[in-house]
Amino acid sequence: MNDLDTILSVIENPTRRRILMALVREPHYPLQLSKELGVSQQAIMKNLDILEKNGLVESRKESSDRGPVKMVYRPTSEFTLTIDMRNGLFRATLSMPASVDDAQENRDMEFDEVRETLSEIDRQISEFDRLREEMIERRNRMMSSFMHGPIASELGYLERSIIYGMLNSPEHDASEVSREMGLRDDTTTKVVNDIENKCKDPKRVMRNE
Amino acid sequence: MNDLDTILSVIENPTRRRILMALVREPHYPLQLSKELGVSQQAIMKNLDILEKNGLVESRKESSDRGPVKMVYRPTSEFTLTIDMRNGLFRATLSMPASVDDAQENRDMEFDEVRETLSEIDRQISEFDRLREEMIERRNRMMSSFMHGPIASELGYLERSIIYGMLNSPEHDASEVSREMGLRDDTTTKVVNDIENKCKDPKRVMRNE
C-alpha cells in the first residue's frame, strides 16, 4: 500500500507532518487540528484528504451528544524511512514494523519511572544510531577508496558503473546486478573478471610499493 | 545550510533522487545524466538547479580537449534522515556525519574480499536497524499504554497533550516542555503534579486489582 515514493511525497509537506504528529498522539477532528496547529480548516481538510488517499490516515464518523456527527481522523500507517546520503553512497530504505503482540509494558509504574525508562530507551536508540552511522561511514570509505583507487580509475564510464553496482549490492551476483542495471549478463561478467584479474596482477602490487 | 524541511522537499522528487544516486557514484555533466537516466536534458537541468540552490550539489566548469567547456556536478551534502511513524510516535531526525579522517580502508584487497567485507558491513547495519526497531517499538508500546491507561484517559485534551509532551521528551524538564509547547510553566507543572499524585494514589492500585 505505502511505498517510499508515496510516503516521501506526502510527508515532505510540513503541515502534513504536523497533522501526523498530532494524530499519533490521539485521534482528532478537523476543527481540533485547525485550532491546535493554527492552520485554516480548509488547509487542514485538503491535507487530511491527501493523507487519507495515500493510506496514512483513516476517518470515521463519530456521533456526539451535542452537535452534528463529526469525522474523526487517526493514523493507519507505521514505518521507518531512512535516507543515507554521502559522497559515495545514496540509499533510501523503508521498513514496516513487524506486528508485535500488544504486551502491556507498564505494570504499575509511576510517572517518573515511565519517564526514566523512556529516557533510557532513547539513549539506547541514539547509541544504535551512532553505531549504524559508524558502519555507514566505514562502508562509504571502503567503497570510495576502491572506486578512486588505481584499478577502478583506469576503467571507462560503463565499467565503473558496473563495479560500483557490484560493490553497492555485495549480496548479489553478477547476473542479479546485470538485471538491476538493465545490462546483459556477459557484459557484467567480463568487467568483473577483468577487475578480478587486475586485482591479482603482481605488477599492481609492485606499482603500489 | 541543510535542514530537514529543505532536504525532504528536495528529495521527495524521484528524478532528483535518481540524479543524486548517479552523482554519489561519480561527478556527471548534464548530458551524461540525461542519457544515464533516460530523462530530457531540460528536466535534468531544472532538477540540478533545484539541487544546487538547496545546497545538495555543486557545479564546476571543466574544460575538455574537444568540444566546449562543460558544467560538471557533484554532491556536496552528507546526511542521514530518519522518519519514524507509529500509531503513538512521530519522529523526524536529521544527522550529519562527523567528518572522519579519510583513512584508506582497503590496503591491497582483492575484489572478492572488498565485496565480502561490504556484505558483512551491510549485515551489521541491518542488525543495528533491527535493534533500533525493537527499541522504537518498545518506546511506542510504553508511551501508548501509559496514554491509554486508566490515569491518562481521565484527563482532558490539554492535560493529555502535556503528559504526551513530557513522555515524548523524557530528557526535558517541565519548563523545557512548556517552552516547546508554548505553554506557561505553571500550567505544565500543575498537570504533572496531578498525574504524579494519581500514580501514587493507593485507590488506583486497588482498582486495578
**How far is the C-alpha of A126 from the C-alpha of B136, rounded, in Å?**
11
Residues B85 and B71 in one domain: no
Per-residue cell: B34: 540525461
In a domain, A19, yes or no: yes
Whether this model's ipTM surpasses 0.90 comes out as: no
Q: What percent of chain B has pLDDT over 70?
A: 91
Q: What string of DSSP letters covers B28-53?
A: B-HHHHHHHHT--HHHHHHHHHHHHH
Nearest residue, CB atoms, A125 vs list B106, B112, B135: B135
* Chain B residues within an 8 Å CB radius of A8: 8, 11-12
Q: Tell me: do B67 and B89 sit in the same domain.
A: no
Strand locations in chain B, DSSP E?
Answer: 57-62, 70-75, 79-86, 89-95
Q: Is the dihedral of CA A166, A98, A25, A1 positive or negative?
A: positive
Distance CA B153, CA B150 (A): 6
Inter-chain CB proximity B85 and A75 less than 8 Å: yes
Residue B209 is predicted with a pLDDT of 42
Whether A162 maps to a domain, the answer reads yes
Range of the domain at A59: 4-75
Report pLDDT for B148: 87
B104 lies in a domain? no
Measured between beta carbons, the chain A residues lying within 8 angstroms of B135 are 121, 124-125, 128
C-alpha span between A34 and A66 (Å, rounded): 20
Contacts of B7 in chain A (CB under 8 A): 83
User: Which DSSP symbol is given to B101?
Assistant: P
Query: Do B64 and B29 fall into the same domain?
Result: yes
**pLDDT attached to residue A119:** 96
The counts of H helices and E strands in chain B are: 9, 4
**What's the pLDDT tens digit per position in A42-70?**
999 999 999 999 999 999 998 877 778 88
The confidence score (pLDDT) of residue A208 equals 47
Q: Do A77 and B85 touch (CB under 8 A)?
A: yes
> Angle B158-B199-B143 (CA atoms, 0-180°, nearest 5)?
60
Specify whether A160 is located in the same domain as A133. Answer: no
pLDDT in the model for residue B102: 56
Q: Tens of pLDDT along B5-31?
A: 999 999 999 999 999 999 999 999 999
Calculate the alpha carbon distances from B48 to A54, B42, B56, B73, B93 in Å.
28, 10, 9, 8, 25
B91 & B133 share domain: yes
Evaluate whether residue B11 is within a structural domain. Answer: yes
B133 and B191 within one domain: no
- B8 and B48 housed in the same domain: yes
Looking up residue B15, the CATH number of its domain turns out to be 1.10.10.10
pLDDT in tens, chain A (209 residues): 569 999 999 999 999 999 999 999 999 999 999 999 999 999 999 999 999 999 999 999 988 777 788 899 999 999 999 999 998 899 999 998 876 655 555 567 889 999 999 999 999 999 999 999 999 999 999 998 889 888 888 899 999 999 999 999 999 999 999 999 899 999 999 999 999 988 887 665 555 44
Looking at the structure, do residues B63 and B93 belong to the same domain, yes or no? no
Encode A27-43 in three state secondary structure: CECHHHHHHHHCCCHHH
Same-domain pairing of A124 and A154:
no
Residues B70 and B92 in one domain: no
Report the residue of B3, B114, B162 to disrupt the A interface, i.e. the one with the largest count of A CBs within 10 Å: B114
Residue A103: predicted pLDDT: 58
For position A7, what pLDDT does the model report? 96
Question: What's the pLDDT band for B105 if we cut at 50, 70, 90?
Answer: low
Domain count along chain B: 3
Q: What's the pLDDT score for residue B72?
A: 96
Q: What is the pLDDT of residue B208?
A: 47
pLDDT in tens, B72-102: 999 999 999 999 999 889 999 999 887 665 5
Closest to B102 (Cα-Cα) out of A9, A142, A34, A91: A142
Q: Let me know if residue A103 belongs to a domain.
A: no
Residue B27 placed within a domain = yes
Looking at the fold, whether A123 and A137 belong to one and the same domain comes out as: yes
B23 and B66 both lie in a single domain: yes
Q: Which among A186, A91, A179 has a CA at the least distance from the CA of A140?
A: A91
Q: Which pLDDT score, from 0 to 100, does residue B116 have?
A: 95
What mean pLDDT is reported for chain B? 89
**Gap from A4 CA to chain B (nearest CA, Å):** 9
How large a percentage of chain B has pLDDT more than 90?
71
Establish if B89 belongs to a structural domain: yes
Residue B67 in domain: yes
Residue A12 host element (H or E): none
Q: A43 to chain B nearest CA, in Å?
A: 18
Give the distance, in angstroms, between the CA of residue A64 and the centroid of all CA atoms in the same chain.
40
